[in-house]
Each structure stands twice: as C-alpha cells, then as structure tokens.
Amino acid sequence: MTTTKTFPRTTPSALDIDAGGVRAFVDALESTPGVEPHSLMLLRHGQVAAEGWWQPYAADRVHLLYSLSKSFTAAAVGIAVREGLIDLDATALSYFPELDVEITDERSRRIRVRHLLAMASGHREEALDRARAADPSNLVRGFLLTPPDEEPGTVFAYNQPCTYTLGAIVRRVSGGSLVDYLRPRLLDPLGVDDLAWRRDETGAELGFSGCYTTTDAVAKLGQLYLQRGVWEGERILDEDWVAAATTTQVENPAEENPDWSQGYGFQFWMARHGFRGDGAYGQFCVVLPEHDVVLAITGQSLDMQAVLDAAWQHLLPAVDRPSDTGADTALEARLASLGLPPVPGGRLPERLADVELRSRPDAILDAVTFTRDADGVRVTITDDGRSDSVPIGEGEWAIEGALAASAATQSDGTVLVALRFVETPHLLHLRVDLDAGTVGTKWKTEPLHDGPLTLRRPAA
C-alpha cells in the first residue's frame, strides 16, 4: 500500500472509482433531510480520489469531532501499549493507586483497560451523570465509585467515562497531556499540524469528545489503521492492536440503527461494511479494508444513519466500476462549487445600525448589537461576559475568525441572521424584531459541551 504524509491527488477513474457514483453521493448528502455536509475526503490506495468543503467550511480549518475524538484517544492508548506503558489486562484501578482503599465494589475493581476500550465496563447505560454526581471534581474517581450492573466485559454501553479514564491513564503513565503524548508519536509522523483538545476544569482533555482537527487528519487516522499501524515504513501501532481495535470485542445487537449494531472494537464501531469512528452530528472516519478505501466526513447531520446509507447506496457500488474522464471532470467542477446556502430574503434595512437588542427570556445570548460601517453591517454577540463579532454577508457568507454570518429580511419584516461557528458543526439563528427591539435565538443543533463563545478551537 502507498503511504505518505501528504496524500497524492488523482482522479477517481485512475483509482477505479466511478466519479458518477461519487457525484450521486454528494447529491444525496445535500438533498437528504437531517443531513448537512461540511467536508468529505475519499481515499483509495492512499491517494485522494475526491475531496470537497462546503463554504464557509474550508480545508485548512479544524472541525470539532465530538465522539470521533475517542478514536484519537484510543490511538494514544495503543501507542502506550506498544511502548510497554499500559497493559490491556491491567485493571483501571491499578493506574490510580491513591483510590485503592475507596473503591470497594468488586466489579469496579475488576474493570480492565480492555473493558474501557470496548465500552464494556459492565454498566448497562451511560454513567457520565452518575460519575459526576459521585465526584464533581474527579471523573475517574466518580466513575470507579459507580458500581457496574454486570460483570465487566459482558455488556456494551456507550459510556463517556470509559474513554475519559483511558485519557487519564495515558496522562498518568506519560506524565503529560494527551496532545503532548500524541505529538511526536502520531501527529508529527502523520503530518498533522493542527490538533487541539477541549479540557475540563481540572485541565485534563475530555478524551471522549472535544478534539478539534482537520478532515485531512481524520483521513490520516483512518489510513493508518487501514495500513495495519504502519506509516511510511514506520510502525506506530502494533498489528495485533489494530486487529483487536477493528474487530468486535463486545456484541451490541440492541442498538437501534443497523450500522450501530454490528459490534464494537476499541473505540471503533463495526459496520455493515468495514469499521469506523464517528461523532455527534455527522463526524465520520469510515474504513473499508476490503476496498482499500477511507472516507472522512464532517457535518451538522442529525440523521447519521442516513449518511452511511447514502455511502452504501452510492459510493460503495462506485468502487471497481468503470468510469471516464468526462465524469471525473464533472465531479471536479461539482466539488469546486460546494457551498451551504446563505439566508434567503430581502436586503437588510438601513435602520439595522447601531442597534442593541434585548434578548428574549431564556435566550442563548446575553446581548446582540448591530453596527454599520463602510463595509456593511457587523453583528456582535455577547454571552457570559465574552463578546465576538463578524461582518454579515447578504446573499453570501461573510467570514471572520471562527464565525461566519449571513442575513436577510423576511416576508414578515423580521431579520433572520444565521451564525455559523465554522470550527464546529453548529449554527445559531437570530430572529431580529426591530419594531419590538428584541432578538430571539435558536440553535439548529445544540452544542454538547460548549457555549456560543467557546465554540472554537481551544488555545494550545
């Protein structure tokens, strides 16, 4: 297999992929209710067959991965196993000897590292809230004080404290942060320049979520696993680790959607085809070993099963199907013109200038202010003592920093403003009533662990 830090670019037909199938996949992403794509990269044989970003998203921007972060945390564990710092069969408790006297439940004491990796701690359901209630300041302690319902290793439950504890173990054995550990061992070898992690109030990376990086980095992680842990001739992950991580470690037939009930590995889901890491609102790293294919996607999608359904319906049959250069050219033009629609409607009113609006009760923001200068209208949002501002595009997206904005006057006379937090999946709508002097706010998708003024790449 070809390996490289910067993926070579070529055409789908050169890789025996029908570009028409890729176009049909793009069309499906754009037309399926509950699906909003932000980026995609399709690799075969270690080369880019197709890639695109929906403006105002862009190739050089990081994107919040939500639970796809777990697969990066697991890679850190895998590297630490290779270095002899972590033993898969050691108990989680053994890495936190200061808790030994307090953790008296026998099942809690029997949770092993491999059980954490496989979401098989023995808890029947998500334990995050219970763990936080047990100890608001030490999630590992709170988790280990929350007794499992069953014997560890016997039942699957998607459980954030499992991954948080894995991150804590890496920090404990390495003496530094997760990112510090990954930088020379994974990120630099793969050529991943930009990766940052949201930290909790203790200064620890969340591990289970909060990782911000590029679509290219997601594709590289998938390619590393496709190459059985080897990158440019250098072994980063042991082959037996990759084999275990990407095969079923615990059955999960009770999961509702077909691509979520095929079994779970080490912070990877098994699927109807291949395996994948994924995160809330449509962050995907899909690996298809039989076809030597990796698919990386970001988005703001509520219907994540629909994204995979579209891949199986359109992309999968396109592999090893005859194509032609005409289809390649048409796809290239299609991908070059991708964009999320700006807010439709009429011109912004002249009086939308030097206006400070009252937030309606229970609003998401504390204050919204509009100002007008020679370049047009700018909106400033304030929440929890912090402010940010961005120009407003009319008929387009205006981008500044980590925000993009578009607005138009609606038929009822109100002004609709769309604010995109372009380092995350999220979109916030502002409904401005100038006559009443008020602004209403509504998320298209609710952020899971951030407020509007922290929806951006964390500082290093």
Taking a C-beta distance cutoff of 8 angstroms, is the pair 423, 455 a contact? yes
Domain architecture of the chain: domains with CATH = 13-86+163-336 (3.40.710.10), 355-443 (no CATH)
Say what the pLDDT of residue 374 is: 83
Give strand pairing partners of 90.
none
Counting beta carbons within 10 angstroms of the beta carbon of residue 85, is it exposed (0 to 12), middle (13 to 18) or buried (19 or more)?
Answer: middle
**Cα distance from N-terminal residue to C-terminal residue, the chain:** 34
Query: In whole angstroms, what is the distance from residue 54 CA to residue 36 CA?
Result: 9
Q: Is the dihedral of CA 99, 103, 107, 109 positive or negative?
A: positive
Say what the pLDDT of residue 115 is: 98
Taking a C-beta distance cutoff of 8 angstroms, is the pair 298, 38 a contact? yes
Query: In whole angstroms, what is the distance from residue 174 CA to residue 186 CA?
Result: 14
Taking a C-beta distance cutoff of 8 angstroms, is the pair 148, 107 a contact? yes
Say what the pLDDT of residue 3 is: 42
Counting beta carbons within 10 angstroms of the beta carbon of residue 369, is it exposed (0 to 12), middle (13 to 18) or buried (19 or more)?
Answer: middle
Neighbours of 262 (CB within 10 A): 19
Query: In whole angstroms, what is the distance from residue 191 CA to residue 179 CA?
Result: 14
Residue-level pLDDT, tens digit, the chain, 460 residues: 444 468 999 999 999 999 999 999 999 999 999 999 999 999 999 999 999 999 999 999 999 999 999 999 999 999 999 999 999 999 999 999 999 999 999 999 999 999 999 999 999 999 999 999 999 999 999 999 999 999 999 999 999 999 999 999 999 999 999 999 999 999 999 999 999 999 999 999 999 999 999 999 999 999 999 999 999 999 999 999 999 999 999 999 988 899 999 999 999 999 999 999 999 999 999 999 999 999 999 999 999 999 999 999 999 999 999 888 899 999 999 999 999 999 999 999 999 988 888 777 778 999 999 998 888 999 999 998 899 999 999 999 999 999 999 999 999 999 999 999 999 999 999 999 999 999 999 999 999 998 899 999 998 7
Closest CA to 219 of 86, 65, 408, 341: 65
Cα distances from 135 to residues 29, 141, 143, in angstroms, run: 42, 7, 8
Say what the pLDDT of residue 5 is: 67
* CA-angle at 236, arms to 139 and 45, nearest 5°: 115
Query: In whole angstroms, what is the distance from residue 40 CA to residue 17 CA?
Result: 16
